[in-house]
Structure 1
């Protein structure tokens, strides 16, 4: 992974300030005006388009907001992909947590720690699967493939370590950006952080799907 490239690519675009300002404004409206479920579609779609551009080596890698229809569609489908993975993980994790909560043979401390551990594991699994689903959707535009966890893991299993590394890196980066932004400008900083993450995901897709065969061949094989 080229982290330096991901951190700097936005500033190499001649219109980077306008593109980042629009995305940051959408984030701001989502945070402080209660419009997250509307603006989130567009910011997620922008995120997906960055992944696609990096994967295809399209220039500029930072999409223009004039591609609003593509951004909306990618964001809407991407949101559905993430929602379906949330439901899949919840269906598995929720009964386990309920069973643990009703287990009277465990001490309160061990019960609490076990439930917390299961919940954290669920969040990690959800984060990995939903982001892998987004990567597959961004590169293949195959919705059925993107929501198939077995197929997604089969296509990307060699790069799970890289993906987890990216998630840890961007979690730290976004934490710094959030607190550094003193809340009021954090939405703008975090939009840039999301663009960095999307670029890294695009790099993963480029390496993962071009190492042996294009994603189109992988899709056909499914």
Structure 2
């Protein structure tokens, strides 16, 4: 896993400023004009395209924004995958939390600890499953595989710790970028941070998932 490459590869593209400005502008419009549920599909689609391209190439350039329709559709499907995983995890976690919350036979301390533990587990499960689903969708364009929890976990096998490490790293990076952007330009910085995360996900797919699961057939480079 090459973190330095993920942080620097964007600036190796001749048109990196234009491409990042377009993505940052979409982020800005989404955050400050309340149009995130429109612009977010484009930025998520671009994120998935970076994952796919990094998986297929050693040092890919940043994708172009000229093919807006495929980017939008990819982002829309990616958003659906995330939403469905939220529902799946909630269907498992919420009844357990309700059980502990309404159980009068355990102490308040035990009840609070149990609820907190289940909630943390739910957040971690959602983070792993939804991001794995996005990775599988990005590299296969197979919605069925992306929505099968057993399949996506099986593809990662013993790499869950690495995925969590990437998520923690990019969370810290995003927090730094948000604070560094002082609000008004944070969307531009955060878009760059999302591209860094996409590159790391692409590396994960290239270095582990595809090596462990030769049954996945990636599509052509875009």
Q: Is the CA contact 2:155–2:213 (under 8 Å) kept in the aligned structure 1? A: no
Alignment correspondent of 1:65 = 65
**Does residue 1:125 correspond to 2:147, yes or no?**
no
After superposition, the Cα gap between the structure-2 partners of 1:154 and 1:28, relative to the gap in structure 1 and judged at 3 Å, is same
How far apart are the structure 2 equivalents of 1:30 and 1:37? 7
Q: Is the CA contact 1:55–1:139 (under 8 Å) kept in the aligned structure 2? A: yes
After superposition, the Cα gap between the structure-2 partners of 1:14 and 1:150, relative to the gap in structure 1 and judged at 3 Å, is same
1:19-168 counterparts in 2 under 5 A?
19-57=19-57, 60-168=60-168
Alignment correspondent of 2:6 = 6
After superposition, the Cα gap between the structure-2 partners of 1:32 and 1:156, relative to the gap in structure 1 and judged at 3 Å, is same
Cα deviation, residue 129, structure 1: 0.5
After superposition, the Cα gap between the structure-2 partners of 1:149 and 1:27, relative to the gap in structure 1 and judged at 3 Å, is same
After superposition, the Cα gap between the structure-2 partners of 1:88 and 1:188, relative to the gap in structure 1 and judged at 3 Å, is same
Q: Is the CA contact 1:139–1:215 (under 8 Å) kept in the aligned structure 2? A: no
How far apart are the structure 1 equivalents of 2:164 and 2:212? 22
After superposition, the Cα gap between the structure-2 partners of 1:212 and 1:86, relative to the gap in structure 1 and judged at 3 Å, is closer
TM-score (normalised: structure 2): 0.92
Cα deviation, residue 216, structure 1: 2.9
How far apart are the structure 1 equivalents of 2:117 and 2:213? 38
Task: Give the ranges of 4+ consecutive aligned residues of structure 1 lying more than 2 Å apart after TM superposition.
Answer: 58-61, 104-114, 209-218
How far apart are the structure 1 equivalents of 2:129 and 2:2? 22
Q: Unaligned 5+ residue runs, structure 1?
A: none
**Does residue 1:202 correspond to 2:202, yes or no?**
yes
Cα deviation, residue 117, structure 1: 2.2
Q: Is the CA contact 2:9–2:59 (under 8 Å) kept in the aligned structure 1? A: no
Q: Secondary structure at the match of 1:184?
A: coil
Cα deviation, residue 99, structure 1: 1.2
Q: Secondary structure at the match of 1:62?
A: coil
Q: Is the CA contact 2:55–2:205 (under 8 Å) kept in the aligned structure 1? A: yes
How far apart are the structure 2 equivalents of 1:217 and 1:78? 18
Cα deviation, residue 58, structure 1: 7.3
